Structure 1
Amino acid sequence: MALGAALYRHARQRSGLPAMTAKGSFALMVGLLVGAGLGNKLVFLVERPDYWLAFWQGGQPMRLGQSLVGGLLGGLIGIELAKALTRQPASTGDLMVGPLAIGIALGRVGCFLAGLHDDTYGLPSTVPWALDLGDGLPRHPTALYEIAFVLTLAALLHRWRNRLALVPGLAFKGFLAGYLLWRLLIDGLKPVRVPYALGLSGIQWVCLLALLCYLPFVARAALRLRKTSR
């Protein structure tokens, strides 16, 4: 997180944008942090409602983990609300693509090193690259898959940055939509601890619903790019 924040700060400086502590930017930062913090916890509880039940029924201490998807969606909602309240219509997300990708990749390094102590490990598998994460069973190294995916996605968006810049916000929209689709698919290779409808996990349902809500905005921005490029 610290490295991602430093990279974002550097990107803002290079782009000539005001510091995050400036009047308008500070409101956006507060919206981002509050939204990400709330989304992080709420989506985790969607993923693990059994923790709620254990707390309310058995008097056990509440176990609160974290959800990267929740942090991203909550941060997006928080910053959009802050922009609406401060009347700042300009898109602010494109500069976050690189820092987000690096932050996610580094976070998944930690998940991989944690092995079975982290809930992001994959299902047992017989693929040649399956790895034993500590229980003697070869498993899909889903954390490594995600590192490769987010860095590849960010690299592609960086390669197309000049074209995407014609529509401010499109690069971020592409990154977020791509990541949500990725999580919807890759989480099918992870154990589902609390299954919802269709056997999907809570995270998968959050990703699916978020995609259904977000894709119209992505499509609208893509159409603007097509018209601008003519």
Structure 2
Amino acid sequence: MHTASAAFLATIPSPDRGVWYLGPIPIRAYALCIIAGIVVAIWWGERRWQQRGGSKGAIIDIAVWAVPFGLVGGRLYHVTTDWWRYFGAGKDPVKALYIWDGGLGIWGAIALGALGAWIGCRRKGIPLPAMADAVAPGIIVAQAMGRIGNYFNQELYGAHTTLPWGLEIYQRFDPNNPTIPDQGPNGVAFGDIPLPESPVHPTFLYELIWNLLIAALLVWADRRFKLGHGRVFALYVSGYTLGRFWIELMRTDDATHVLGLRVNVWTSIIVFLLGLAYFVLARKRGPREDPELLRTEPPEPDDETGDTVESDDTVKTDSATKSDSATKTDGGE
């Protein structure tokens, strides 16, 4: 008994469930983590945008387009690459729509989210690369927060390990019938019965920590080198995929394989190379964008009169025009 207790204390326990109920309303940890991540990404992106000279509220307006596009893209990628989970004999295709049960592919979320952001930027008249640089650190922090949802869902873990930070995973059951196993997000662990491979590598935790480190790198590099023209976002893409590559190789959950490797491993390699190439090539575009290009609101009115404040150049131009007009009037034709 003493040995068993010592072994338990040397590991990380899993939550007994990922869903709670307020009456008939389910409260899902995964959904809460995704929502909290989106809020943080928008809040931080808005602050960074204004610090770079952008207009107040621009990131919030663009997020109205980017967030729904990103959620749809993330789900489409997951369903496309893991189609066998939802289609075929004995499967329920309707569950492909159950985004609250987990299953968002970051690659699809970034791709369609970028499309939504492009639409928002076009409507606001601001450059997409500059906006992407502002939101990049917040996006990867949001991804880190989303991994906490995987912890509650007891998913995305690796092989068995004897390391002190090994994760205990438990047998979960149907909450309405404890005799029926249910390892899905709706299952509940009764009695904390460990699965045979437990404890395992907490790969979701590895990715969470890696993402936070990359966020810190982005902030430092942006301040140190005044990156612009999408280079912060490219650094985010390269840094994230570099970590995702080795973390993905550690995972043991079911996944689609191509040429002996998980499809996300191949995606990480390709996207890493694309991000690195853009980071290098975009350097030729020169220094960071002029803050004036990032502002979309009209000139601020004068505090006393309420009239629009004119710049010195406007005043000089108007004066010159009036003088020239007077000269023509006096001389006559």
User: Shared topology, TM-score over 0.5?
Assistant: yes
Distance 1:62 1:189 in 2: 30
The aligned counterpart of 1:224 is 284
Distance 1:87 1:17 in 2: 12
The residue type paired with residue 9 of structure 1 is E
The structure-2 alpha-carbon separation of the partners of 1:2 and 1:166, relative to structure 1 and needing over 3 Å to count, comes to closer
Contact persistence 2:73–2:111 (CA under 8 A): yes
The structure-2 alpha-carbon separation of the partners of 1:84 and 1:216, relative to structure 1 and needing over 3 Å to count, comes to farther
Q: Deviations over 1:204-226 (max 9, x none)?
A: 333333334443212213x439x
Query: 45, 63, 81: which one pairs with 1:47?
Result: 81
Alignment pair present for 1:9 and 2:70: no
The structural deviation recorded for 1:34 is 4.1
RMSD: 2.9
TM-score (norm 1): 0.78
Query: 92, 105, 111: which one pairs with 1:60?
Result: 92
The residue type paired with residue 101 of structure 1 is I
The aligned counterpart of 1:76 is 114
Max radius of gyration: which structure? 2
The aligned counterpart of 2:200 is 139
The residue type paired with residue 41 of structure 2 is G
Alignment pair present for 1:210 and 2:271: yes
The structure-2 alpha-carbon separation of the partners of 1:155 and 1:167, relative to structure 1 and needing over 3 Å to count, comes to same
Query: 231, 235, 241: which one pairs with 1:170?
Result: 231
Contact persistence 2:221–2:227 (CA under 8 A): no
Q: Deviations over 1:55-102 (max 9, x none)?
A: xx5562432332233212322243246546876435211221332232
Percentage identity across paired residues of the two chains: 23
The 3-state SS of whatever aligns with 2:256 is coil
Higher mean C-alpha deviation, range 69-78 or range 91-100: 69-78
Distance 2:91 2:228 in 1: 52
The structure-2 alpha-carbon separation of the partners of 1:39 and 1:164, relative to structure 1 and needing over 3 Å to count, comes to farther
Contact persistence 1:5–1:99 (CA under 8 A): yes
The aligned counterpart of 1:103 is 142
The residue type paired with residue 124 of structure 1 is H
The structure-2 alpha-carbon separation of the partners of 1:208 and 1:62, relative to structure 1 and needing over 3 Å to count, comes to farther
The structure-2 alpha-carbon separation of the partners of 1:224 and 1:21, relative to structure 1 and needing over 3 Å to count, comes to closer
The 3-state SS of whatever aligns with 2:94 is coil
The aligned counterpart of 2:163 is 127
Q: How many residues align?
A: 218
The residue type paired with residue 72 of structure 1 is I
Contact persistence 1:98–1:154 (CA under 8 A): yes
